[in-house]
Amino acid sequence: KVFASALEENNVVETLILSCYAIVDDGAFAIGSVLGRNTSIQKLQLKDIRNVREITTFFQLLQPNTSITELSLRHCSICPRGAQAIAASLKEHAKLQEFRLTDSQLSGNSLCILCHGFKQSKLQRLYLVNDDLAGAEDARHLVDMLRDCELRELYLSENELGDEGVAVLARGILAENQSLQHLDVRSNGITSTSTLCLQGLMTGSLHLVGINVSNNDLSDLGATALARGLTN
């Protein structure tokens, strides 16, 4: 509350990093109340907004903000109600270019709700890192999002999408999206099975200029498929 009071008098600070603090109930209300009216802060990082009350309170208060271009959340627990509050807020941030959600837990259909919010925003870069994304169903939510937005960069490292999820993602990007330039699927438990789909994406996409598949068990066969993709 003391910090929020000081921030209210400040119109110079452009970056606010509170990623080593646990901001609980009253703190989320105090910070959110100030940030909703703030017109100078462009980059915001927060950590440990964990329950539904904290998340809904903070993002409802943040919604009027029109200056934030980069928003980062770590160690959050997001249920469907919390996801709805985040999605509603994202739609209103016309200048928001980058959203990061890392080391977090998404319960129920939270990913689906968030993806719906992402595709109604102006995001250019999206980081969903170590958020327990897994399998084809989560990949389909991402593909649905990509169908209706102009995202340039998608970072999905340290999840468990696996071969099936990455294959769905690669085919979906090729069929549905004409804007993605960078794809990061590091540490997703994929093998040579899904590299054939990645090869097809590399060969068929006119826009993709970067792909990161490190820390996966691709084997010689997978490496050969990626090499063929590069050749073409």
Of residues 18 and 152, the one with the higher pLDDT is 152
User: Which residue in 113, 97, 200 sits closest to 152, CA to CA?
Assistant: 97
Bridging pattern class, strands 70-74 and 43-47: parallel
Percent of the chain beyond pLDDT 90?
A: 55
Assigned token pair, 82: 């919390």
Return the DSSP state at 99: E
User: Which residue in 110, 118, 120, 116 sits closest to 83, CA to CA?
Assistant: 110
Return the DSSP state at 96: -
What pLDDT is attached to residue 93?
Answer: 82
User: Which residue in 187, 189, 230, 190 sits closest to 210, CA to CA?
Assistant: 230
Assigned token pair, 174: 């090729």
Q: In what order do the strands lie in the sheet with 15-18?
A: 15-18, 43-47, 70-74, 98-102, 125-129, 153-155, 182-184, 210-212
In terms of average pLDDT, the best of 23-27, 106-110, 119-123 is 106-110
Average pLDDT for 170-190: 91
Average pLDDT for 190-195: 92
In terms of average pLDDT, the best of 24-38, 46-60, 68-82 is 68-82
Sign of CA dihedral 75, 117, 61, 124: positive
Angle between helices 25-35 and 52-62 in degrees, nearest 10? 10
Return the DSSP state at 110: H
pLDDT at 29 over 90: no
Three-class DSSP category at 175: helix
Residue 187 φ/ψ region, left for φ over 0, alpha for ψ in the -120 to 50 degree band, beta for the rest: left
What pLDDT is attached to residue 20?
Answer: 67
Q: What is the pTM of this model?
A: 0.92
Banded model confidence at residue 26, pLDDT cuts 50, 70, 90: confident
